[in-house]
Amino acid sequence: MARHGGRGWYGQVVAAALGVTAVTVAASLWTAQAGPVDERVEAGTSVHHSAPKAAPVPMGIAHASDRGARGVNITIDDGPDPVWTPEVLQVLKEYGVKATFCMIGPQAKAHPDLVRAVVAAGHRLCDHTVSHDVTMDTKSEAYQSQQILDAERMITEASGGVRPLYYRAPGGAFTPYSRKLAASHGMRPLGWNVDSKDFERPGTTAIVTTVKEEMPNGPTILFHDAGGDRSETVAALREVLPWLKEQGYSFGFPVR
């Protein structure tokens, strides 16, 4: 999995994540995504310190679809974004497609309404760390833990108690430690097979062509809903989603 280049805009939102406000959540929820949750989030503490961890899952990096050989997984990274996430959600709704949204912790914290909209529409959540550091695999275990678990907490709080089911390392910078840690918190490490290259904004036609050419690589496709103008991504999804259906694919979620 190729690493993405530097994305300086994340530094602007990381500061918003520091200094968590006091929040107390006592809920017993049942959702199609996360099952029952009964947890208490103490002021200034992380979910992983104050609530039972989710049941562990395999630590191997998932690429397959739960829909089998003709399944495909749409994954959307780096949001939520107040401009582009609603646009992406609308396209997915139009074509009846469910996706996995890999969210940056501070973005989720800043836009809880969008996190809840994603959940309400039947999509799944994925932890994409606090600051999208593509060099995480060179950092200490303490740093990796902070990035993963603080983002997990932010996403869970923003969603109203729905936990992320996956963990995607920025730029694919997984380590054995980060995979084991995420899996122990019920988040299956999530890779990708098809990089649409939409982050580079090469044009809608180029994005669509890349997806079509790389589909033999496997079922998990990477798109983005934040980090800049994502109008090309929205336009590409309008072409890619019906094309995939025409090819006989069905839309599912990454295996757990």
Q: 4 in helix, strand or coil?
A: coil
Containing H/E element for 161? none
Active site residue 225: no
Q: Which of 78, 123, 224, 225 is catalytic?
A: 224
Question: Taking the CB of residue 25, how many other CB atoms lie within 10 A of it?
Answer: 18
- Closest to 126 in 3D by CA, of 141, 108, 110: 108
Q: Which of 77, 81, 150, 225 is catalytic?
A: 77
3's tokens: 């690493």
For the chain, report the end-to-end CA distance as a whole number of angstroms.
20
77 is catalytic: yes
CA distances 239 to 37, 74, 154, 160, 229, Å, are 38, 14, 33, 33, 18
Residues recognised as catalytic: 77, 224
